Amino acid sequence: MKAVVLLSGGLDSAVALYLAKSKGFDEVHAISFDYGQRHETELNHAKAIAEKAGVAAHKIVTLNLGDFGGSSLTDKNIEVEDGDVNRTDIPVTYVPARNMVFLSIAASYAESIEAQDIFIGVSQVDYSGYVDCRQEFIDAMEAAINKGTVMGAESGKPIKINAPFVNKTKAEEIQLGMELGVDFGLTWSCYRGGEKPCGTCDSCLLRAKAFAEAGFEDPAL
Amino acid sequence: MKAVVLLSGGLDSAVALYLAKSKGFDEVHAISFDYGQRHETELNHAKAIAEKAGVAAHKIVTLNLGDFGGSSLTDKNIEVEDGDVNRTDIPVTYVPARNMVFLSIAASYAESIEAQDIFIGVSQVDYSGYVDCRQEFIDAMEAAINKGTVMGAESGKPIKINAPFVNKTKAEEIQLGMELGVDFGLTWSCYRGGEKPCGTCDSCLLRAKAFAEAGFEDPAL
């Protein structure tokens, strides 16, 4: 059974990949994006995770969303600010419509290989204030995919977006990942993309908090 | 007033661009895609059209959908078949989820410049059997965009997808384009992408039929 898994190199998508495998998807096609992100190093982590998990294929799609500007993750003229896990506004690391773009391309890939399942590791619980991590967005996107593909609109083989962590905390994801044998030492979360995680950006703070809550040491540190 | 216009180099999107300008969008941002299409020459036509129309900006996004295969437009191992304007099945030129990918990226661009309008020149009347040219897809995609962007989901500035030709014939588009001053000599429709239009692919046949119905000579021939 085929599945397309969005793999960023971070921990959420690594757990999503192992979860897909545990659910009987024995032909996993991983897809990653080189979208002009400052933390390009995550792509090397994605490759290592995909290889260790034994995926059927791993596509890296190059796409320069950075040309549009507007986010500190892609625009090197904007600083990545230090994190604040209690923030409620939209942070400067937001990349406009990123998950929509990624899911659309994943849908194109899924249709080209006739996979009916896409996995994405978003969570609306422990997220950085991103609107495109919410269940209502996932539902709307799945509806659009099934109107805009032959599989969904003509062939009676609808495509499902599996977002298994949408209502889970990152700590719960880590606990699940530990059970599934995810090698978290291969994952990368830092937005700044230096040689080592900075420890102070939003993403590093969320990761540290989650490992503490889950009761594990972070093997990447 | 800002608009993002999807510009392929073909005639539909050229008319959509001029229509946007005539509707008071005085800051038009054109966006084109280098997606591994066989008929790359259309990008040069897109540039010429954008320049002549005096757009504020023209972004060309490179994205290798061709890596996925599955379409004769991107996979050079599959022949572009001769056209049949009465066909009812899905032709081999179908690129999986193409308009969804393009609209997602256009939404990312729109959000980065705070434009609330996207124009796309699709038609469900004279189309090559593509599911992603239908009104119900456009509606579903607009809903997804407004769940997956800050503008739509948080800021009360929803993004609208304008598909003004969705119920128009290509002949009607040509008549409108003639009124608006579109230089159809700059547009390119042929799927095969040789030096001159082949005259026998689906797209060339639809174009010839439309010019005949509209009562104009095709200035590109």
More confident residue, A147 or B68: A147
Which chain B residue lies closest to A33 (C-alpha atoms)? B63
Q: Taking CB atoms and an 8 Å limit, are B150 and A59 in contact across chains?
A: no
Q: Give strand ranges (E) for chain A.
A: 2-6, 27-34, 57-62, 117-119, 160-162
∠ CA(B102), CA(B141), CA(B73), 5° rounding?
A: 35
| Nearest by CB: A104 against B70, B104, B110 | B104
Q: Tell me the helix, strand and coil percentages in chain A, rounded to 5.
A: 40, 10, 45
| Length of chain B, in residues | 221
More confident residue, B97 or A38: B97
Q: Which residues contact A195 (CB under 8 A, 6 or more apart)?
A: none
Q: Taking CB atoms and an 8 Å limit, are A96 and B111 in contact across chains?
A: yes
Decide if pLDDT at B168 tops 80: yes
Q: What is the pLDDT of residue A93?
A: 61
Beta strands A2-6 and B2-6, pairing class: unpaired
- The mean pLDDT of B173-195, rounded to a whole number, is 92
- The mean pLDDT of B78-103, rounded to a whole number, is 69
- pTM for this predicted structure: 0.89
Q: What is the pLDDT of residue A65?
A: 73
Q: What is the pLDDT of residue B82?
A: 65
Decide if pLDDT at B88 tops 60: no
Q: Kindly provide the ipTM of the predicted complex, given to two decimals.
A: 0.88
Structure tokens at B71: 């379409």
The alpha-carbon gap from B180 to the nearest alpha carbon of chain A, in Å, equals: 29
Contact between residue A138 and residue A166 where contact means Cβ atoms under 8 Å apart: yes
- The mean pLDDT of B157-168, rounded to a whole number, is 96
Rounded-to-integer distance, Cα B177 and Cα B163, Å: 15
Least trusted range by pLDDT, from A64-68, B34-38, B182-186: A64-68
| Nearest by CB: A148 against B105, B137, B149 | B137
Q: What is the pLDDT of residue A73?
A: 57
The alpha-carbon gap from B179 to the nearest alpha carbon of chain A, in Å, equals: 32
Structure tokens at A63: 């796409």
Q: Taking CB atoms and an 8 Å limit, are B101 and A113 in contact across chains?
A: no
Q: Taking CB atoms and an 8 Å limit, are B108 and A100 in contact across chains?
A: yes
SS (H, E, C) chain B: CEEEEECCCCHHHHHHHHHHHHCCCCEEEEEEEECCCCCCHHHHHHHHHHHHHCCCEEEEEECCHHHHCCCCCCCCCCCCCECCCCCCCCCCCCCCCHHHHHHHHHHHHHHHHCCCEEECCCCCCCCCCCHHHCHHHHHHHHHHHHHHCHHHHCCCCCCEEECCCCCCCHHHHHHHHHHHCCCHHHCCCCCCCCCCCCCCEHHHHHHHHHHHHHCCCCCCC
Identify which of A141, A185, A181 has the alpha carbon closest to the alpha carbon of residue A163: A141
Identify which of A64, A41, A44, A60 has the alpha carbon closest to the alpha carbon of residue A52: A44
Q: Taking CB atoms and an 8 Å limit, are B90 and A150 in contact across chains?
A: yes
B139-153 pLDDT, tens digit per residue, is: 999 999 999 999 999
Share of chain B above pLDDT 90, in %: 64
The alpha-carbon gap from B216 to the nearest alpha carbon of chain A, in Å, equals: 33
Alpha carbon B37 to its chain centroid, in Å, reads 13
The alpha-carbon gap from A214 to the nearest alpha carbon of chain B, in Å, equals: 30
Decide if pLDDT at B96 tops 80: yes
A17-28 pLDDT, tens digit per residue, is: 999 999 999 999
| Nearest by CB: B65 against A108, A134, A139 | A108
Contact between residue A82 and residue A49 where contact means Cβ atoms under 8 Å apart: no
Q: What is the pLDDT of residue B126?
A: 65
Annotated binding-site members of B: 7-17, 190, 198, 201, 204
The alpha-carbon gap from A98 to the nearest alpha carbon of chain B, in Å, equals: 7
In chain A, residues with a C-beta closer than 8 Å to the C-beta of B69 are 112
- Walk along chain A (221 residues) in steps of 10 and give the mean pLDDT of each run: 96 97 97 81 93 96 74 58 57 77 95 96 78 93 96 94 95 98 94 83 90 95 87
Residue listed under structure tokens 């700059």: B186
Interface with chain A: mutation pick from B4, B105, B145, B161, highest number of A CBs within 10 Å: B105
Q: What is the pLDDT of residue A71?
A: 59
Rounded-to-integer distance, Cα A146 and Cα A160, Å: 9
The SS3 assignment for A57 reads: strand
Tell me how far apart the terminal alpha carbons of chain A are, to the nearest angstrom: 35
Least trusted range by pLDDT, from B1-10, B48-57, B124-133: B124-133
Decide if pLDDT at B91 tops 70: no
Q: Taking CB atoms and an 8 Å limit, are A140 and B144 in contact across chains?
A: yes
Annotated binding-site members of A for ATP: 7-17
Q: Which residues contact B72 (CB under 8 A, 6 or more apart)?
A: B38, B78, B79, B80, B81, B92, B93, B191
Residue listed under structure tokens 């937005």: A191
CB atoms within 10 A of CB B82: 12
Least trusted range by pLDDT, from B5-9, B92-96, B97-101, B171-175: B92-96
